[in-house]
Amino acid sequence: MEKELHEQYEYARRRIKQKKRLYYHFVLFVLGSLLLFVAHNFLDSTVVSDWYLWVITIWLFFFLLHFIKIFITDRFMNKSWEREQIDRLVALQKKKIDQLQTELSNDELK
C-alpha cells in the first residue's frame, strides 16, 4: 500500500511540475510577444514588415504542442495506460507460447 501511495505522490508531483512549466511557457510567450510587437514598432523595421507576426505564430505553434502534450497526451497515456498495455502484450505473448507448446507436444505425439 505504501508503494502505491508513493507512486501516486510521484505522479501528482510530476504533473504539477509539467503544468507549472506550461504556465511559465505561457507567461513567457505573452511577454515575449509583447516585446516583439513593441520592438517592431519602435525599431522601425524595414526588412520584412510583419516579421514579428511570423515569430509569434511559430512560438504559438510550439506552445500549442506543449499544451497538447500536457493536457491531452499525458492525461490519457499515463502509468495506468502503460501498465494495461504491458499486461495486454504479456498476455498475448503467453498465449502465443502456449500455442507453440501445444503444437510441439502434438508433433511429439505423432
Q: Percentage of the chain with pLDDT > 90?
A: 39
Q: In angstroms, rounded to a whole number, what is the distance separating the alpha carbons of residues 48 and 50?
A: 6
Amino acid type, 59: W
Residue 34 confidence class, pLDDT cut points 50, 70, 90: very high
The answer to whether 47 and 77 have CB atoms below 8 angstroms apart is no
Task: Please state, in angstroms and as integers, the Cα–Cα distance from residue 16 to each residue in 12, 24, 51, 60, 72, following that order.
Answer: 6, 12, 35, 22, 15
Any residues with CB less than 8 A from the CB of 67 and at least 6 apart, and which? 22
pLDDT at residue 1 is higher than 80: no
Give the distance from CA 31 to its chain's centroid: 25
pLDDT the model gives residue 94: 92
pLDDT per position as a tens digit, 75-94 = 777 777 888 888 899 999 99
The predicted model scores a pTM of 0.65
* Residue-level pLDDT at 44: 67
